């Protein structure tokens, strides 16, 4: 969620909030399942289930969330929402939520911004700084030939492949994400992460003290069960080893 640091840092951050992620992904599965409970005919549901399985979410949790979405089990009704604003150091933030109480969520999001030196803005105030893209992260290993990976991804419709210190980042248009993802899986590549997300087209570089406050703000937002994703345009990786 946000820009990518090292794989070790991302995994550490993910492990630290695994319980919270179970709650978030269960909500995403429930909402997706409203359009149909069979992942073979519901791409959004299939993707949500894959994300849940990637963090070892128990099958019973996944099945229960699906049944809540299809109406087989009683459950809450969630509404999607987006908040935009600025964090410390002028860093742009976009917060995506799924909530059963919009007033409560709005209040807690505003409180998080106010408490940590940010400013919650109006819709559209920072979204122009982001593009929606499919992002697939693959760990670098001796077994991976970068040229073969690039050929496989590009032939399937990928836009670009970026080489990082310990990973390859495959970028796609949102409409090509599933085709590229499927082609890479068929090619035997394992994903560290794969999602359609917001990628910053303009970046901000906060100072050291501002960066500390920014991390506090993002941590506070991500601790909120209503928050699904937090995107930012900070040029400094927040997930370090």
Mean pLDDT of the chain: 91
SS3 sequence of 150-191: HHHHHHHCCCEEEECCCEEEEEECHHHHHHHHHHHHHCCCCC
**In a domain? residue 34:** yes
Residue 180 in tokens: 């590229």
For residue 9, pLDDT over 80 is answered with no
User: 16-43: per-residue pLDDT in tens?
Assistant: 566 678 999 999 999 999 999 999 999 8
**CATH number assigned to the domain comprising residue 50:** 1.10.10.200
Number of domains in the chain: 1
pLDDT digits (tens, 9 = 90+) for 190-215: 998 899 999 999 999 999 999 999 99
Answer whether residue 19 is part of any domain. yes
Cβ 119 vs Cβ 113: under 8 Å: yes
The reply to whether 216 falls in a domain is no
User: Given a cut of 80, is residue 146 above it in pLDDT?
Assistant: yes
- Find out whether 141 and 167 touch, Cβ atoms under 8 Å: no
Q: Is residue 93 part of a domain?
A: no
Task: Specify if 145 maps to a domain.
Answer: no
Q: Is residue 63 part of a domain?
A: yes
pLDDT confidence of residue 241: 43
Domain extent, residue 52, equals 7-70
Q: Is residue 148 included in any domain, yes or no?
A: no
Q: What is the pTM of this model?
A: 0.85
**18 lies in some domain:** yes
């Amino acid at each position: 969620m946000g820009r990518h640091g090292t794989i070790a840092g991302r995994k550490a951050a993910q492990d630290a909030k695994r319980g919270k992620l179970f709650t978030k992904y269960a909500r995403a599965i429930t909402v997706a399942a409203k359009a149909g409970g069979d992942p073979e005919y519901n791409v959004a549901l299939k993707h949500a289930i894959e994300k849940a399985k990637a963090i070892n979410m128990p099958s019973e949790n996944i099945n229960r969330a699906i049944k809540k979405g299809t109406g087989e089990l009683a459950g809450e009704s969630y509404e999607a929402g987006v908040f935009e604003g600025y964090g410390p150091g002028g860093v742009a933030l976009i917060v995506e939520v799924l909530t059963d109480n919009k007033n409560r969520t709005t209040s807690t999001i505003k409180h998080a911004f106010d408490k940590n030196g940010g400013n919650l803005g109006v819709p559209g105030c920072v979204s122009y700084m982001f593009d929606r893209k499919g992002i697939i992260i693959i760990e670098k290993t001796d077994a991976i030939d970068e040229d073969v990976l690039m050929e496989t991804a590009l032939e399937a419709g990928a836009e670009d492949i970026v080489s990082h210190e310990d990973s390859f980042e495959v970028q796609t248009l949102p409409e090509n994400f599933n085709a590229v993802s499927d082609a890479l899986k068929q090619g035997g590549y394992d994903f560290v992460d794969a999602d359609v997300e917001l990628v910053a087209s303009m970046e901000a570089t906060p100072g050291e003290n501002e960066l500390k406050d920014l991390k506090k703000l993002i941590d506070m937002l991500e601790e909120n069960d209503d928050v699904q994703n937090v995107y930012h345009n900070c040029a400094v990786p927040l997930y370090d080893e």
